[in-house]
A and B are shown apart, each in its own frame.
Chain A
Amino acid sequence: MSNSHSYNKAEEIGTVVPSKYTSVALLGNPNVGKTSLFNALTGARQYVANWPGVTIEKRVGTMFYGDRAFRIIDLPGTYTLGATSIDEKVARDYLIYESPDLVVVVTDAMNLERSLYLLLQVLELRGNVILAINSIDEAKKAGIKIDSKELSKHLGIPVVLTSAFTGEGIGNLKEAMLKISRSGIHVHYLFPERIEKLISKLSSSLKLKKELENFDTRWLSIKLLERDEEVLKLTGIDPGADYSADIANSRYEFIKELLKDSYRDSEKHYWDLNTAIDHVVTHKYLGILVFFAIMYLVFQVTYSFAEPFTTLIEMGFNALGAFVDKSVPIPWLASLLSDGVIGGVGAVITFVPSIFILFLSLGILEETGYLPRAAFVIDRVMYSMKLSGRSFMSMLLGFGCNVSSIMSTRTISEPQERIVTILVSPFISCSARLPVYIMISSVFFGKAAGLAIFSLYVFSVLFTFASALLFNKLLFKGKPSPMIMELPRYRKPTIRSLMLYTWNRGKHFLEKAGTIILAASIVIWVLSYFPTGNILTSFASILGKSLEPLFRPLGFTWQMVTALIFGGAAKEVIVSSLSTLYGASSLPGNPGLATLASQITPPVAFGFLIFVLLYFPCFATIAAIKNESGSWKYVWITVLYGLGIAYLLALITRLIGGAFL
């Protein structure tokens, strides 16, 4: 049914479903297929936003079932309802303070025992809980038998077996959600008597506190016994001893009893293929080889697979520009439309195929489960820079977009490692810089263009690492965050989830092309057309020319300087402004870029690319740095550091290159 509805824009979801929707939170361990289940429930009626105050991705979607509308929130993956990492805190705070109508705890059929631990913690906190046991298709194949009726009887809550991959049980899950939204269920499970005694003792003293009347005192008592720091502060009570180990053991004991009658394991031959792949992928020598091969492949695919599409789009925009130029009688309007709007946006749209393919590749790496392996293989290297494989994943995301990279540092629990990762993230060559590399490289480096681009990526990685070390030394002297990371089993990603992954992120680029970049293109066109109609005597020329002496040692032309200034809006704007300033589209070999080629030497061009890589990040990234680090101080550090080094290295590139050529 989900496909029959047309796609709604984010704002419409709020208006289509007025206050009568039922709010549902999806909660579960990382890698249990929670997001796939979310996709299966909501289809395309979803949007990605941020949690208020923090910038962890918040996926919200709408589902219609029966006579009701459900608003489903995909909470960050978590192992416990503690409050030690920001992910956990977001999930927990949502459950406590937003109190959704229903909670669906998503667990993994292949690993039920461990994932039920979180369910118990939710049951301690609230009612109206549904247990979804996901990946039931894989479990069946592995010969695992789960009796959901028996489980449901013992737990007292609805239990549904689902598979987001085959779609099995999704209907049952919807039915269970509908049923609970009408009736409601609250259950308790009991701890061993000695713990229950402590709980009731604490509860009775908590009940006397008026300011806590909105909280479940039983839950507060359990958290106090676990010495949960937030609850200790909230209640002002200190029970003394730490019972957390005792309580954790009791939960697992309860799970053991629960699964005795309802869960039958088999010989886990399922793991054999998994182990075989891991044997290669994390092997002493092969593992590193595979790691670099995959990274290289991603960028080759991004570059070469996209080419036919890129050429096609270029041809289309050129034809459109020429047609508009001819058919509009007013010269300035014709110029605005063909050079400003069509030329500027067209130059950026040509790179859409590359960027979608890049996100698709990253999506495949993430959804199959390779990314954590990559983090595992590379962790020791990151550790020597006081970072972890976790920050490696954030940095890897930076190849798509520095903003998402900075946002993803939320998963790093150690504040200091987070700050360092945020500070160095802008030096990771994001996909918006790729258009600039491609444009300049295709003009100056001919057949070596691919190599030039690859070397920029390698340089970006090395520079990021070196900067991380430097920042760690200068700003902090602490230890890196502990890397406790699960290596999930490999999964076949579904086409649908890959499409949603790619679309949700690629859309960002399209939106930028449609808004900021269009605006920037028009501003640039205005600056370069007025007051005289001649670009050489325009405002832009005056601006660029007045700054040009500063960049003379680097060999940059005033057009390049002007483009760099506009690059602050978004790095890919450099492409559109260069093409506007040189009066042409970005087609390789066109007369405009030939002018550029005659003005500067290849070493200067390479220096320019290094400058583009390192100088101040785009406004969106700057805003993200400010938000995430919480201070302008860090923005200044990374911006001034980047600008200084960019200038220095571009100069060195020119000098060294000049000496050899």
Chain B
Amino acid sequence: MKITLSQLPVGVDGTIVEINAPHELRERLYGMGFIKGQRVKTIRRAPLRDPVVYLIKGSEISLREELSSKIVIESRFFSLDLAIPGEYVVDSLVGGRRFLEKMRFIGISKGSRIRVVKSLSRGKYIRINNNDVFIPYRQAMRIVVEELPNE
């Protein structure tokens, strides 16, 4: 799916599709290796979430969300809040023990298959193990999923 670089979860990589940054910044981005078709990986977030360090062509570059949200990438991995209805596999959960326990209670853990049934602005209705569950937006942000090809 096409998402912005700012939406790429930590530890995940994607391929740059489009750079919509202003012209005067694009030149420098090219010089640092941000070009179409280039793979880029999210390394870590700053203590206050912004900026974020990305690994590109072997070097670590820090970008603010303001700019990274203008770079479009193609990635099989993204957080659940971005998912459209369809089939997904949970790749990882970002959070502490309490969050992980809560998710396990619903039946979500690494590797579980889920189906997004309905997408709302405040969260997602998903079907897991034949149960319908509502996942609020804030929790969905912390669930990294992988797209499954449509059968």
Name the one of B24, B26, B36, B44 contacting A282, with C-beta atoms under 8 angstroms: B44
Interface size counted on chain A using CB atoms at 8 A:
47
What are the residues of chain B within 8 A of A85 when measuring CB–CB?
28
Given A483-B64, A486-B60: A282 in contact with B32 (beta carbons within 8 A): no
A484 touches B28 (CB 8 A): yes
Nearest B residue to A108 by beta-carbon distance?
Answer: B59
Contact in complex: A484, B27 (CB < 8 Å):
no
With most chain A CB atoms within 10 A of its CB, the pick from B24, B26, B58 is B58
Q: Counting CB contacts under 8 A, is B51 at the interface? A: yes
Whether B64 pairs with A118 at a CB distance below 8 angstroms is no
Contact with B along A75-118 (1 / 0, CB 8 A): 00011101011001000000000000000000000110110011
Q: Does A287 contact B (CB under 8 A)?
A: yes
What is the size category of the interface that chain B forms with chain A?
A: 20 to 34
Q: Is the CB of A245 within 8 A of B36?
A: yes
Q: Which residues of A contact B26 (CB under 8 A)?
A: 244-245
B141 CB–A CB distance under 8 Å: no
Query: Which A residues are CB-close (under 8 A) to B50?
Result: 379-380, 383
Please tell me if the beta carbons of B31 and A80 are within 8 angstroms of each other in the complex. Answer: yes
Q: Which of A84, A285, A379 contacts B28 (CB 8 A)?
A: A84
B49 at the interface (CB under 8 A from A): yes
A377 touches B32 (CB 8 A): no
**B51 near A379 (CB under 8 angstroms)?**
yes
Say yes or no for A248: interface residue by CB 8 A criterion: yes
Contact with A along B20-53 (1 / 0, CB 8 A): 0001111111111101111000001011111101
B66 sits at the interface (CB 8 A): yes
Q: Is the CB of A252 within 8 A of B32?
A: no
Give the chain A neighbours of B46 by CB distance below 8 A.
Answer: 282, 287, 376-377, 379-380
* Complex CA–CA separation, A177 to B30 (angstroms): 30
The contact of A110 among B19, B32, B47, B58, by CB within 8 Å, is: B58
Chain B residues with CB under 8 Å of A118's CB are 31
B135: chain A residues at CB < 8 Å are none
Report the minimal beta-carbon distance from B6 to chain A, rounded to whole angstroms: 13
B25/A244 in contact, CB under 8 A: no
Provide the residues of chain A in CB contact with B28, threshold 8 Å: 79-80, 82, 84-85, 88, 484
- Over the window 112-141 of chain B, the binary record of Cβ atoms lying under 8 Å from chain A Cβ atoms (1 yes, 0 no) is 000000000000000000000000000000
Are A379 and B58 neighbours in the complex by a CB distance under 8 Å?
A: no
> With an 8 A cutoff between CB atoms, is B57 at the interface?
yes
Q: In the bound complex, what is the Cα–Cα distance between A278 and B64 (angstroms)?
A: 18
Is B62 part of the contact surface with A, judged by Cβ < 8 Å? yes
Q: Is B63 an interface residue (CB 8 A)?
A: yes
Binding site for A on B (CB under 8 A): 19, 23-33, 35-38, 44, 46-51, 53, 57-64, 66-67
